[in-house]
Structure formats: structure tokens, C-alpha cells
Structure 1
Amino acid sequence: MSNPNAGYDVVILGGGSGGYACAFRAAELGMSVALIEKDKVGGTCLHRGCIPTKALLHAGEVADTTREAGQFGVEAEFKGVDMGAVNKYKDGIVSGLYKGVQGLFKAHKVEVINGYGKLTGPNTIEVDGRTVTGKNIVLASGSYSKSLPNIEIDGERFITSEHALNLDKVPEKAIVIGGGVIGVEFASAWRSLGAEVEIVEGLPRLIAAEDADSSKQLERSFRKRGIKFHTGKFFEKAEATADGVRITLPGGKTVEGDVALVAVGRGPNTEGMGYEQVGVEMDRGFVLTDEHLRTNVAGVYAAGDIVPGVQLAHRGFAQGIHIAEHIAGLEPAPIDEKGIPRVTFTEPEVASVGYNEDEAQEKWGKDKIKSYKLSLAANGKSGILKTQGFVKMVSVEDGPIVGVHMVGARISEQIGEGELIYNWEAYADDVAKLIHMHPTQNEALGEAAMALAGKPLHVHD
């Protein structure tokens, strides 16, 4: 049982997405809350992840639009990229949002304790010599950029995403080790800003966690943009050279550049934080929880990147809110991990929710799964934007839609409806009956559902 005599109702270790969402919701529900953070509140997403990377990607989009302005009948001259100005723009966005989050802590009357926290008991966290007690403890210590045993990150030639966000110039030739979300997003941004880019990925395809059709479309688009990639090849050697880096692939082929981004995922930031010593069950550094984010230690919860699953800020938000409501006795429904939307913000963007087609066939049986892929060539707004891609829906025969997958410029803005379709267990015919605004990319979801329901409008088989 948790300690009823503890000082705060909730003490949270970590001020990232999961931590501060839990803090705000708990405060709204009338609880006393303290949050411990050794750096800035807002976490990786705000300061070193989601926000600055998307600002960098948008700067790249502006550069591409300027280069291609003639396609739209607009006369424009592209003179290059000033990374100092790009960084100023990026940092300004982060700074503004950081001030907003700080204001929310004050508005919710959440006490922020700055310092390095360590779990010392089921109800206690030590912060730089001070013991903070709580009836409930929430572990939300976030994640870090992983490297590989044979690569030394020096911040100059071999870099992580944190270093990449603060480069003072665009690399002439960048090598990206890892073809997951982080790797392909930086590859896309750097290419738009003028770099030559080459990706090395050990798995058979880029963004291998996504639907196979989404991977193929992204790879096709990357080839068209001049982004090179090697898939199904784990490198044999990575070394610094006199003026850059060299990666040796199987068979002796080498790839050279002036910088190498190591983008092989993020690890849970749990080492040395006292979790195991207090008895919290762990697996390879991750904290194990039940469906309500409770650990095996009574009164101790966990949220965000340290909990096994997709490492996304909005997942952290949802988990933090869930924990606060569970502590308050509101009995929130467990979070369906498959119902969390996913976006890769490349050019073109890749968005999805639910099961990909292979997963659905494995779960329900190949003969029970139907799918329809609608090319964006059939969508007027996509033609206006000059983007290629598709909307794909996966459904169970005589059952609901269990997966929505999309590729295209700005297509991420449409994943919200995909989330509703999946989480509300809508059938293709249900979605087909809805009226989708014309001309929009959102209309493509309606068209795909109509085709899946057997009544296509602007397409034919």
C-alpha cells in the first residue's frame, strides 16, 4: 500500500511529455503535485526532438518550394540556406513553447524541483540531498540517443540527433546510420537544405515498422529526390578519416561523408536512478507496467519512453493523463497502443494508425483481411500540391477497419480521422456514408472507404 502520510499526493520524476501531462491533470483533479526535473521542463520532445526537428523540416520544405516555384508559375530565385538564420527560427519556436509550458506549471500550481532525482523507496525520491515524499510516485525519466559499441560519438564527425539540430552549416555529404523515423527525417531535411545524403539500414527496408506499401512509397520518393540508401546491410566498420567519416559495408563497399548521424533508436533513461534497487521490475532498462501503467511496486507508476512501446510524445501525454485519472479513482479505460497514431515527417510524410496489412493477416488470418489502396493521383488537392502517395485501409472481412496508412505531402493532418476510424471500430460502409469536404486530402479517406465498401466513385479496379 502507498503511504497515506506522504507529503504530496503525486511526485513525478521527469518533466517531459508524460511527466508534465500527469502533473497538470493531477492538479486539475485537486491533488498536490511536485515534479522533479534536472534540465528544462518540456523534455526531449520540446527541446531536442519533435519541435526543433519539425522546424528544421519546414525550413527544408520552404527551400524546396523556392527551388520549384517555377512549376507553379511563380518566379523566385533560390540563393541558398543560412543555417544561422534557420537555427534562430527553430530556437525561437522552442523558446516560445517553453515559456508557455513554464506558465502552465505556475497556473496549475505544480511545484517544480530542479535537480537530479533518484528513487529511494516506494514513496520517496532523493533530489540533491533532499528527500521528497509522495503518496504516489510516477517515473517518467525519458530516453536518450543510443549508439553502437563500435562507434564513438564525438559530436563532430559521429553525431546524434541532438548534435544534428545544432549544426552551424548544412553538411556537404551526410551519412545516416539507421533508416527508422529519426534517420529518415534528418535525411529528408538535410536533402531539402542542400546536402547529399546516404542511409545505411540493417533491416530490409526503410521505416520497417510501417506498412510495406508505405516503405516502398517512401523509398521511391527518396530515390526521386536523390537520397541514396542501402537496406538489409549492417555496416562492418565505421571510422573517422582525415576530413570526415567512412562506413564499410559487407563486401568491402565504402560510403564516405563529412558527418555521420547515428540514428539507431532511443534507449530508456533509467540507469542509476534507483528503480531496480527499490524492486521495480525491469526488462533491458525499460520499466514494466500493467494496463494502468502501475509497476509491480505499490504506488509507483511509469509513463513515456521508459515504458516498452512506441516512443512518441502524444503517447506520453495520454499515459500521463491516464495515470492521474487512475490515481483519482476515475477508472480510465486502458490505452490501446495500436490506436496511437504514428507520423514520419519526411517529404512525403508517412502516417498510420492501427495494424499494418502483414500484422492484420497474422492476427486474423490472411483470408479474413481486405485492403484497398487509393492513389493520391485520384485526389484533386494532392494534384494541386504536386504530391504522390496513397491512402490505404485495412479491414477484417465483414468487420471493422483495423488499419489506416497514408503517404503524401502534408498527409499527417489527416491521421486524426484515421484514429477515430480505428478507435471507434468503424466499418468501411460507416466511413463511406460520411461526407468529406471537396477538394481536400481528407476526401481521400472517404474515397478509400467507399472503394473498400464496394462502391468506388472516382476510381475503378
Structure 2
Amino acid sequence: MSDRFDLVVIGSGPGGYVSAIRAAQLGQKVAIVERERLGGICLNWGCIPTKALLRSAEIKHYLDTAASYGLSVEKAGFDLAKVTERSRKVAGQLNSGVKGLMKKNGITVLEGEATLTAATRVKVGDRTLEAGNVIVATGARARELPHLKADGERVWTYRHAMVPPAMPSDLLVIGSGAIGVEFASFYSDMGARVTIVEMQDRILPVEDAEISAFMEKALSKQGMTIRKGASVEKLAVDADGVTATISGEAARFSHVIVAIGIAPNTEGLGLEALGVKTERGHIQTDEWGRTSVPGLWAIGDVTGPPWLAHKASHEGVVAAEKIAGEAHAHPMDKSNIPGCTYSRPQVASVGLTEEGAKAAGHSVKVGRFPFIGNGKAIALGEPEGLVKTVFDAKTGELLGAHLVGAEVTEMIQGYVIARQCEATEAELMATIFPHPTISEAMHESVLAAYGRAIHI
């Protein structure tokens, strides 16, 4: 049985389903293939359910610190199963939402494994889909090392950590990227003693060094143990816990989360037979999402870093518009992709770090403004934070912005828009920020870069 479509999308994560919708909006006849659940890892096992867990931990933290707000609350208890259940319900609700969007936009949904028998021919079970173009949006999965295999009981990947069989008492988190730090934050706020091990010389190593140092201090203050420049060489699991050998020293933990990155889902697609170029397993593409094989496109985590849902979604729109011949299609600019870590405190950034800007040959002006100088942050009881801005000293271009503190994942978009619109320090300094808001710290950081900060 053969069906003809203008576009077939393999994978229904935030890259796949968004590209399918945009293509349908542009008049394309679209089919999407999914082997598990619509919405992919992000919606079902990543971005969304982890934020639901973190929200529960945040509320528990506020209850635990209620006295500082003049409130009397009994010690906050929790039911881990119900916390997990709420997270799964949130994911389920959004999964149903994606199903509705597929129906609304007239997109054919097929369940099963997809195999490319040609660049524009996809086999799903006993059906063969012929297409004008195919987009591969198969995402990625947790990466494991041979001696750190997850068992779901004592040693977890992020998927296990979202549906824990028990509450850890002593938790080892291997890796301090966004995933590792978010789970460390969640379990710490829920009462676990947490140790983070990072091979590099600082946590959140892709962030600005100053922000990394700020986060290390904040997490240590919360009671976490952070070991940098260290590696986990061995895990010995028994009925009562895990013995980890960390840089030659043995330590005991109840559970372990392995958060050392992700691996692309390219196996079984038939890419090798088609001669698709890859690098370390990731599909190579141009700025539009085109692979080395005409008619075959790829977007999202399967194409490499940054491994972010919003990057995948934007790539999906770019590819769909290019395929449809949209006159206003624009290529992806990775320098304007924001990064967010939803821990306590939060971290958000866009553009070049201070070190990166200098390494690229820029003469820079750097502004900093601490939350302790912001009235709204103090009123909220959230004075722990920092906004850092990096400008080109000659042109005034905003090269990068780096934030740590409450709600900064919501605030970073202001700087993203500024970079997208090519605003300089002049426009940012002339912008009126509402008072009282934490976002005023963003304005003050810009002013500080040019010696004009008012409140510090």
C-alpha cells in the first residue's frame, strides 16, 4: 500500500510536530510518523514533566520557608507518588493537545517505526509513504557509558528520575549540565542529600564562568556537595544502594542519576544506505536543515547541539518554510538561541560569554547588576541573583546576556529580542522598564556596562 504526501515527518517531538503544522499551514499534504507518543521526549519525558516536578519542589521550598514571610505553616510533607502522578497528568494533557493539533491541521498520523527506503520514501509497517520531501526529527536519548548502565532501580537516567520508585536519601548526580542540575535541585528541595560530580573544572560548563561560580556557591549553600574535575570510575550496586568510586575514592549513595549528555536516534532509519553525512552520529545539515541527500532534511536533537526543544521547533519552521518556498523563510541563527536551566536559582543566557567574546576578538564592556539591588526581588524574598551583559565596546552590540536568579528563564527573552532586532546599548538604555519588576535588573546591567547604573 502506497500513499503520496508533500511532506513526511519522522518523529513528533517539538521539532517534528511544529514542522508538520507549519507545512500544513502552507498548504502541504503532511504525514507524521511516531513510534511512541505524540510530543516526543520533551513533552512526555523531558521539558514539560520535569517543570511540573520542579514546581512541586518550589512550592515545598516556599512552605518550608514560610516563616520568613510572616506565615505560620506546619512542616511540609509530600507524597512522592502523587507528585509524580501530577507530572504525568501534565504530560498526558499536552499529549492530547498535540493529537488535537494534528487533527485540526489535517495531518495524517501513523504509529510505528519508520525506515527510509529512499530519500523521499518512508516505510511504516506495511505502508509505504511517497513524499516530495522528508524531515527526520527523531530526537535523542540519554547517553550511557559501559560501566554506568542504568537499571531503573538504583541507577537512573532522566526517564527513571521522573518516575522514581522511591525517594533517594543520598543521591549522586553524574554530570552538571542543565538536566543534572535540574534533577539535583528537585531532589535536594524534596529532602535528599545531593552530590554532583562534574568532569570539567566548573558546573554548568557551557555558561559564563561567573554564572557557573555563582551557581556553585548557591547550590553549596543549599547543602549540595559539588565535586569538580572528578569522574565516576565505577558503580557497584547492591540491594541497599550504590557504592561509587569517584576519582579513586569510594562513597555510598542510595541512588544515582546519570546525566552525561544524549545520543542521537539515528539507528534503523536507513541513513547509511542513503549516504547521509553524519558526525558522531548526528546528521549534518546546512542552515536550512537540508542533509547531504536531496529531498531529505533533519532538525532538532538528531542534528547536534544545542539540544533544546525551542531550537528544534524553530528549525522545524525554517525547514517547512524553505520546503514550501515561503518568500520570507530565514535560516537558523544559532547565536540567538537562549539556554535555560530551571533549577533553584534559575539560569538563562543568550549569545557569547565574556570569555567567548574576548576570544572572538571583541573589545568588551561588561555590566553587572545583583538582585540585592532590585526592590521586587527583595520584596519576593528572592535577593539571590545576578544579571550580566556583554557589549562590543566599539559598536555597542549586545554580544551576550547571562542571568541567574528567580524567574530569569522568563526574562531572558527580552535580551533575545534585542539581539534579534540588532539593538545596541543606546536602545536598551532608552527603554522604559516597569517598576517594580525583577526585569529592572536587566536595564541596570546595561546601564552598569557604561557606568550609568542607578541603584548600585
TM over 0.5: same fold? yes
- Stretches of 4+ moved more than 3 A in 1? none
Pairing 1:380–2:375 present? yes
Once residues 162 and 330 of structure 1 are traced to their aligned partners in structure 2, the CA distance between those partners, rounded to angstroms, is 38
- Write out per-residue CA displacement over residues 96-137 of structure 1, whole angstroms, 9 at most, x where no aligned residue: 111111100000000001110011101111111321110001
Aligned with residue 27 of structure 2, among 15, 26, 30: 30
Q: Which amino acid aligns with 2:267?
A: E
Report the equivalent of 1:418.
Answer: 415
Report the equivalent of 1:369.
Answer: 364
Once residues 424 and 403 of structure 2 are traced to their aligned partners in structure 1, the CA distance between those partners, rounded to angstroms, is 18
The worse-fitting range, judged by mean Cα deviation, of 210-219 and 161-170 is 161-170
Pairing 1:333–2:330 present? yes
Aligned with residue 121 of structure 1, among 112, 118, 122: 118
Once residues 424 and 256 of structure 1 are traced to their aligned partners in structure 2, the CA distance between those partners, rounded to angstroms, is 51
Once residues 350 and 362 of structure 1 are traced to their aligned partners in structure 2, the CA distance between those partners, rounded to angstroms, is 23
Shift of 1:328: 1.2
- Write out per-residue CA displacement over residues 437-456 of structure 1, whole angstroms, 9 at most, x where no aligned residue: 01101111111112223322
Once residues 254 and 440 of structure 1 are traced to their aligned partners in structure 2, the CA distance between those partners, rounded to angstroms, is 47
Shift of 1:242: 4.1
Q: Which amino acid aligns with 1:455?
A: R
Contact 2:43 2:95 in 1 (8 A): yes
1:203-214 pair list within 5 angstroms:
203-214=200-211
Shift of 1:429: 2.0
SS at match of 1:7: strand
Q: Which amino acid aligns with 1:407?
A: V
Contact 1:429 1:453 in 2 (8 A): no
Aligned with residue 146 of structure 1, among 132, 143, 148: 143
1:104-115 pair list within 5 angstroms:
104-115=101-112
Contact 1:432 1:453 in 2 (8 A): no
Pairing 1:274–2:270 present? yes
SS at match of 1:236: strand
Report the equivalent of 2:440.
Answer: 443
Report the equivalent of 2:342.
Answer: 345
Report the equivalent of 1:253.
Answer: 249
- Write out per-residue CA displacement over residues 156-194 of structure 1, whole angstroms, 9 at most, x where no aligned residue: 111100011001432111111111111110000000111
Once residues 275 and 17 of structure 1 are traced to their aligned partners in structure 2, the CA distance between those partners, rounded to angstroms, is 22
Once residues 385 and 231 of structure 1 are traced to their aligned partners in structure 2, the CA distance between those partners, rounded to angstroms, is 32
Once residues 341 and 372 of structure 2 are traced to their aligned partners in structure 1, the CA distance between those partners, rounded to angstroms, is 21
- Write out per-residue CA displacement over residues 19-55 of structure 1, whole angstroms, 9 at most, x where no aligned residue: 1011000000000000011111100000000011111
Aligned with residue 67 of structure 2, among 56, 65, 70: 70
Pairing 1:181–2:178 present? yes
Report the equivalent of 2:387.
Answer: 391
Contact 1:14 1:140 in 2 (8 A): yes
Report the equivalent of 1:458.
Answer: 455
The worse-fitting range, judged by mean Cα deviation, of 76-85 and 186-195 is 76-85
SS at match of 2:232: coil
Once residues 261 and 144 of structure 1 are traced to their aligned partners in structure 2, the CA distance between those partners, rounded to angstroms, is 14
Report how many residues are paired: 452
Once residues 323 and 280 of structure 1 are traced to their aligned partners in structure 2, the CA distance between those partners, rounded to angstroms, is 17
SS at match of 1:254: strand
Contact 1:200 1:233 in 2 (8 A): yes
Q: Which amino acid aligns with 1:211?
A: D
Once residues 453 and 427 of structure 1 are traced to their aligned partners in structure 2, the CA distance between those partners, rounded to angstroms, is 12
Aligned with residue 87 of structure 1, among 84, 87, 101: 84
Report the equivalent of 2:317.
Answer: 321
Pairing 1:291–2:287 present? yes
SS at match of 1:17: coil
Once residues 28 and 88 of structure 1 are traced to their aligned partners in structure 2, the CA distance between those partners, rounded to angstroms, is 35
Contact 2:8 2:135 in 1 (8 A): yes
Once residues 421 and 360 of structure 2 are traced to their aligned partners in structure 1, the CA distance between those partners, rounded to angstroms, is 19
Task: Please list every run of 5 or more consecutive structure 1 residues that lacks an aligned counterpart in the other structure.
Answer: none
Q: Which amino acid aligns with 1:371?
A: V
Contact 1:191 1:197 in 2 (8 A): yes
The worse-fitting range, judged by mean Cα deviation, of 77-86 and 174-183 is 77-86
Using structure 1 for the length normalisation, give the TM-score.
0.96
Once residues 317 and 168 of structure 2 are traced to their aligned partners in structure 1, the CA distance between those partners, rounded to angstroms, is 41
Shift of 1:6: 8.0
Report the equivalent of 1:46.
Answer: 43
Once residues 287 and 280 of structure 1 are traced to their aligned partners in structure 2, the CA distance between those partners, rounded to angstroms, is 7
- Are residues 169 and 241 of structure 1, via their aligned partners in 2, closer, same or farther at CA, if it must alter by over 3 Å? closer
Aligned with residue 52 of structure 2, among 33, 52, 55: 55
Once residues 149 and 257 of structure 1 are traced to their aligned partners in structure 2, the CA distance between those partners, rounded to angstroms, is 20
Shift of 1:255: 2.3
Aligned with residue 240 of structure 2, among 216, 240, 243: 243
Contact 1:142 1:268 in 2 (8 A): yes
Contact 1:385 1:409 in 2 (8 A): no
Report the equivalent of 1:427.
Answer: 424
- Write out per-residue CA displacement over residues 285-316 of structure 1, whole angstroms, 9 at most, x where no aligned residue: 10000111100100111001011220111111
Contact 1:83 1:168 in 2 (8 A): no
Once residues 381 and 411 of structure 1 are traced to their aligned partners in structure 2, the CA distance between those partners, rounded to angstroms, is 13
Q: Which amino acid aligns with 1:76?
A: V
Once residues 192 and 109 of structure 2 are traced to their aligned partners in structure 1, the CA distance between those partners, rounded to angstroms, is 42
The worse-fitting range, judged by mean Cα deviation, of 343-352 and 275-284 is 275-284
- Write out per-residue CA displacement over residues 212-235 of structure 1, whole angstroms, 9 at most, x where no aligned residue: 011111101101100111111112
Once residues 149 and 264 of structure 2 are traced to their aligned partners in structure 1, the CA distance between those partners, rounded to angstroms, is 19
Once residues 187 and 71 of structure 1 are traced to their aligned partners in structure 2, the CA distance between those partners, rounded to angstroms, is 24
